[in-house]
Amino acid sequence: MAVGLPSIAASEPGPDRGDVPPRRQHPAWIAISAVRQLRGFAVPILVLVASRGRDGDTRMLVPLIVLALASVVWQAVAWRFLSYAVEGGRLKVQSGVFARRERFVPVERIQAVDLGETPLQRLFGVVGVRIETAAGGSGQADVVLPAVRRAEADALRRRLLQDRGPLSVGSAAALTADGARPGAEATAEDGELLRRLSPRDVLVAGATAGRIGPALAAVSFGFQFLDDLLPESAWRAVTLQAPGYGVRGLVLAVAVGAVVAWGLSIAGAVLTWSNFELRRDGDRLLIAHGLLDRRRRSVPLTRLQAVSVGESPLRRLFGLAEVRFESAGFAGASGEAGVLVPLLPLAEARAFVTAATPGFSPPSVPALSAPPPRARGRYLGDALRPMVGLLAVALVAAALLPAVRWWWGAAVLVLFPLAVWDGLLAFREAGWTIDDGRFILREGGLSRRTIVAPVRRLQWRTVVQTPFARRAQLATTEAAVASGGEGGSLRLRHLDEGVAFGLLALLASPPRSDDARPHPPDSASVPQSPGFGGAADEAVPAAGYT
């Protein structure tokens, strides 16, 4: 039971080198999780306080305050029963007052370790540790320790990411040190500095982020919400002051919405990406960023599945790009989790990738194989299909609205040229090659992404063909690397059929050195496909390979 835990001061190095004896988190855990719980109380309390003005009755507040206090006491009890340890190559987390829960995470399954500091955590000199596992998808994939002393967190991170060789003197001292060292010193990272963002870079990153589109949508939704809320008289007042409100007001609203969305995007980038630093320490990447909520993320290079260079439409205009990585961790984490560098000049991207993630640098002159010319129409079709759907929806919507004629819906036709352009660009940009055991793919349109993934990292691969495509002898090839997010799919649309199926064979994992192991006896009852994939490495169809 947790009551028998040795106190932090008394903890000694475990029997096995690298073991961390069971320890509790900093008592700040109580405050941090109480705050998290009390957020739930905030709304009822505010409502009560606001309504108090009418009858002056405050008695209703008493049970709420009692509940809040009880929650703090409960957190204090829970804290005593919470411990973490590293034992025999596993991270062990114990929790639960009545129902004890023990979680074991094998160290070799850990994909990355994140250290985060909210202002509250900084107040107590603790950091939140988030341990990413490869459990993929399921909600409880990650272990979260919200209040670990800074020095301990650094040492734990080193231990969990399996530094080569024995623990360094510094980290061993940190593990047995009682309490945190002064903050300034603890935030200093080691390793070679690869990239830093100036405040100007951060602003540019926000201003050119591809998020403007979604943000605009959110704002216009808000606008409609407002429309529903405001009484009719208010609208009449507005329309009287703005004659011709129908069109002009709409344009104005969209323009204001766009500016607000843009401002939000810039503010978001400042909050997220200020103080950005990327360092490389041996075979680990250390990514630090954040204005108020600070994060430090450690990603072992051996855990990277793919690296991609992406250009949103605006960034493409200015020759800027973002570099991301795919890793099996970060399931359900926010979009920032896979960012290696939020902004850098495209011209520097290759040198940067070579320095940061050597295995993933694209060849200097990427001679990519392209889909055949007859695929152009299909790329156009892909881009126009959603537009046709949009047109239908707009026509129906306009027909249902009493104020406008049904053909007003045709206004969305102004987007068609953009879609055509997007489709033509997508055809022109699409390309692939296999270089030094790495699958390199470029996909595009108004935005563009070049992704590099080692062939041995591909988890599965597939060819998709509709009857129409079969008649045109075209097919789409897709492969996937392990990824906690959406970016793990590598897709090449409308290749020549022969190339598409040839690629399926080309992307077979190379035989491993330990393939000499005896094959298990084949069970006679199991149907087999003779020699599938085995010959893929030799019998390479030359089609399309540069």
Nearest to 190 by CA among 165, 175, 168, 173: 168
Nearest approach in angstroms of CB 421 to other proteins is 27
513 belongs to the binding site for other proteins (CB under 8 A):
no
> Using an 8 Å Cβ cutoff, are 205 and 272 in contact?
no
Closer to other proteins at the Cβ: 6 or 511?
511
DSSP state of 520: P
Nearest approach in angstroms of CB 417 to other proteins is 29
529 belongs to the binding site for other proteins (CB under 8 A):
yes
- To the nearest 10 degrees (0 to 180), the angle between helices 199-207 and 250-273 is 140
15 belongs to the binding site for other proteins (CB under 8 A):
no
Interface of this chain with other proteins, residues 282 to 321, rule: CB under 8 A: 302-303, 305
Closer to other proteins at the Cβ: 8 or 508?
508
354's tokens: 């070579």
> Using an 8 Å Cβ cutoff, are 112 and 298 in contact?
yes
Instruction: Please report the DSSP string for 380-405 in residue order.
Output: HHHHHHHHHHHHHHHHHHHHH-SSS-
481 belongs to the binding site for other proteins (CB under 8 A):
yes
Could you say which of 115, 328, 419, 452 contacts other proteins (CB under 8 A)? 328
Binding track, positions 114-143, relative to other proteins; x by CB under 8 A: --------------------x-xx------
Tell me the window of 84-92, 116-124, 259-267, 477-485 that interacts with other proteins (CB under 8 A): 477-485
Nearest approach in angstroms of CB 379 to other proteins is 18
Q: How far is CA 417 from CA 412, 421, 424, 428, 545, in A?
A: 11, 6, 11, 16, 33
Closer to other proteins at the Cβ: 4 or 531?
531
Nearest approach in angstroms of CB 518 to other proteins is 11
465 belongs to the binding site for other proteins (CB under 8 A):
yes
Nearest approach in angstroms of CB 408 to other proteins is 18
Spatial separation of the C-alpha atoms in residues 158 and 140, rounded to whole Å: 23
Instruction: Please report the DSSP string for 153-184 in residue order.
Output: HHHHHHHHTT-SSSPPHHHHHHHH-SSPPPHH
Spatial separation of the C-alpha atoms in residues 299 and 340, rounded to whole Å: 10
The answer for residues whose C-beta is within 8 angstroms of residue 524's C-beta and 6 or more apart is none
Nearest approach in angstroms of CB 396 to other proteins is 12
DSSP state of 511: P
Nearest approach in angstroms of CB 234 to other proteins is 29
399 belongs to the binding site for other proteins (CB under 8 A):
no
334 belongs to the binding site for other proteins (CB under 8 A):
no
Q: How far is CA 9 from CA 21, 178, 179, 444, 502, in A?
A: 12, 6, 9, 57, 63
Could you say which of 198, 467, 513, 516 contacts other proteins (CB under 8 A)? 467
- Residue 243 main-chain phi, psi, to 5 deg: -60, 150
Tell me the window of 41-49, 218-226, 282-290, 513-521 that interacts with other proteins (CB under 8 A): 513-521
Spatial separation of the C-alpha atoms in residues 419 and 426, rounded to whole Å: 10
Nearest approach in angstroms of CB 488 to other proteins is 6
Closer to other proteins at the Cβ: 57 or 537?
537
Residue 531 zone, left/alpha/beta (φ > 0; ψ -120 to 50; rest): left
- Write the burial class of residue 422 (CB in 10 Å: 0-12 exposed, 13-18 middle, 19+ buried): buried
At position 359, the amino acid (one-letter code) is G
DSSP state of 473: T
Tell me the window of 63-71, 82-90, 227-235, 516-524 that interacts with other proteins (CB under 8 A): 516-524
Nearest approach in angstroms of CB 475 to other proteins is 8
Tell me the window of 36-44, 196-204, 389-397, 479-487 that interacts with other proteins (CB under 8 A): 479-487
243 belongs to the binding site for other proteins (CB under 8 A):
no
> Using an 8 Å Cβ cutoff, are 106 and 134 in contact?
no
The residue whose two tokens read 């940067």 is 352
Nearest approach in angstroms of CB 336 to other proteins is 21
Spatial separation of the C-alpha atoms in residues 537 and 467, rounded to whole Å: 29
The residue whose two tokens read 């998020």 is 211
> Using an 8 Å Cβ cutoff, are 95 and 101 in contact?
yes
At position 301, the amino acid (one-letter code) is L
> Using an 8 Å Cβ cutoff, are 343 and 519 in contact?
no
Tell me the window of 31-39, 194-202, 380-388, 461-469 that interacts with other proteins (CB under 8 A): 461-469
191 belongs to the binding site for other proteins (CB under 8 A):
no
Which letter, b or e, does each residue of 181-200 get, where b requires 16 or more Cβ atoms within 10 Å of its Cβ? eeeeebbeeeeeebbebeee
Nearest approach in angstroms of CB 146 to other proteins is 27
Tell me the window of 282-290, 377-385, 403-411, 525-533 that interacts with other proteins (CB under 8 A): 525-533
Closer to other proteins at the Cβ: 125 or 329?
329
Could you say which of 58, 140, 239, 466 contacts other proteins (CB under 8 A)? 466
Binding track, positions 76-115, relative to other proteins; x by CB under 8 A: --------------------------------x-------
Q: Which residues bind other proteins (CB under 8 A)?
A: 108, 134, 136-137, 302-303, 305, 328, 457-467, 470, 475, 480-483, 488, 497-498, 501-502, 504-505, 508-509, 512, 514, 517, 519-520, 522-523, 525-534, 536
